[in-house]
Structure 1
Amino acid sequence: MERYSKTAMLLHWLVAILIIAAFFLGLTMVDIKGFSPTKLKYYSWHKWMGVTVLLLAAVRILWRKANVPPPHPAGMPQWQVMAADTMHYALYFFMFAVPVSGYLYTTAANVPVVYLGLWQIPALFEGTPELKELFKPIHYWLNMAMAAAVLAHAGAALKHHFIDRDDVLKRMLPALRK
């Protein structure tokens, strides 16, 4: 069985954990009424996770260009190969589009993004209520689409493991040996 490199696995699982955490933190923080210290702290953490996902996604693309991933299993139907490749492109798109849309929404709201409380990311434009109202649903719906893609990706991996009984999932699990 050909496996992904340890670096590819590390990047995959770090990004996956951050995406899931940022998603649920985002749902939690918007339900908190008013502007409490807890809500503001959650917003900061959510932004930090988003920036980190964006940075790690860039590293993942560079790593993938330099390190060819293992081929699809022999005998995998062509439609599944195409679906898997399309899903991977979609997930990479979301890894960039969701954080960028969050940044645009935050900028439109005239709120700075200060990564890890240390580095302020420059605003590309001056915010306005109209732009805020434009970017808010874009960020929300990109998140919902990403959540659906993540669930489909995980579901496909589990289908390969439990139904097809092939090595698709095992190739990305760091705890398993050859």
Structure 2
Amino acid sequence: MQASITNSTTRYGWVAIILHWLIGIIFIGQFMLGFVMVRIDSQRTAFELIQLHKSFGFLLLGLIILRIGWRLGNAAPALPASTGALERRTAPLAHLALYVFQLALPLSGWTLVSVSMLEIPSMPFNLFVMPNLPLGLSDTAENFWAAVHWYLAYAGIALVVLHALAALRHHFWLRDNVLTRMITPSSAPDME
């Protein structure tokens, strides 16, 4: 039997797994890139890193939209029977928060570049010019959206850390399949 591309009642399929890890890597990479690009002395290097950051931001936005669409069409596997009532109620809220932050962060970045008085075009991976959102330019708006983007980034990375710690708790402490089912799909019966 082959592993499935869609989710089952006990395991994630290949599409969900690939999107999960790809988005996770890009999200963490974006945080690190954003941290470095605003602290670099060379204006040329900073500019190139900002363009790269914007490129991955647009990619992230597209992948998040794809992931949410896929998730709406593919129910998540049920939590193990040993999962407590409180965790059963909070886990969906935590995942919803992750989706909201992963959407809000690139959208706030796109808004930031759209209101910037510098009017520097965004060229994702130097392939095309991404149009700005139809918003007025102003220093006040730019400062506001820069702060929003910054706070969302730190809150988002905190959520990612909590998400990772929860997965590790399930794997090493509770010894259930919550983490392993997001690593590889299986056609074999799950061991919970």
Q: TM-score range by the shorter chain?
A: over 0.9
Contact 1:73–1:168 (CA<8 Å) still a contact in 2? Answer: yes
- Identical amino acids, percent of aligned pairs: 34
Contact 1:3–1:172 (CA<8 Å) still a contact in 2? Answer: yes
Deviation readout 1:132-176 (Å, 9 max, x if unpaired): 111111000000000000000000000011111111001101287
Contact 1:11–1:60 (CA<8 Å) still a contact in 2? Answer: yes
Deviation at 1:35, TM superposition (A): 1.5
Deviation at 1:118, TM superposition (A): 2.0
- TM-score normalised to the size of structure 2? 0.87
Deviation at 1:106, TM superposition (A): 1.3
1:72 counterpart = 2:82? no
Q: Which amino acid aligns with 1:27?
A: F
Deviation at 1:177, TM superposition (A): 7.7
Aligned to 2:39: 31
Q: Which amino acid aligns with 1:116?
A: F
How many Å separate the matches in 1 of 2:49 and 2:174?
A: 41
- Structure 1: gaps spanning 5 or more residues: none
Contact 1:170–1:176 (CA<8 Å) still a contact in 2? Answer: no
Aligned to 2:101: 94
Q: Which amino acid aligns with 1:32?
A: I
How many Å separate the matches in 1 of 2:91 and 2:127?
A: 38
Give 3-state SS (helix, strand or coil) of 1:32's partner. Answer: coil
Do the aligned partners of residues 60 and 159 (structure 1) sit closer, same or farther apart at CA in structure 2, a change above 3 Å counting? same
Deviation at 1:129, TM superposition (A): 0.9
Deviation readout 1:75-120 (Å, 9 max, x if unpaired): 3111111221111000100111000001111112122222221222
- Structure 2: gaps spanning 5 or more residues: 1-8
Give 3-state SS (helix, strand or coil) of 1:120's partner. Answer: coil
How many Å separate the matches in 2 of 1:106 and 1:83?
A: 35
Aligned to 1:61: 68
How many Å separate the matches in 2 of 1:100 and 1:65?
A: 21
Greater radius of gyration (CA): 2
Contact 2:27–2:60 (CA<8 Å) still a contact in 1? Answer: yes
Q: Which of 120, 133, 137 is the equivalent residue of 2:143?
A: 133
Aligned to 2:127: 118
Q: Which of 107, 115, 127 is the equivalent residue of 1:108?
A: 115
Give 3-state SS (helix, strand or coil) of 2:123's partner. Answer: strand
- TM-score normalised to the size of structure 1? 0.93
How many Å separate the matches in 2 of 1:78 and 1:53?
A: 33
Structure 1 vs Structure 2 CA RMSD: 1.6
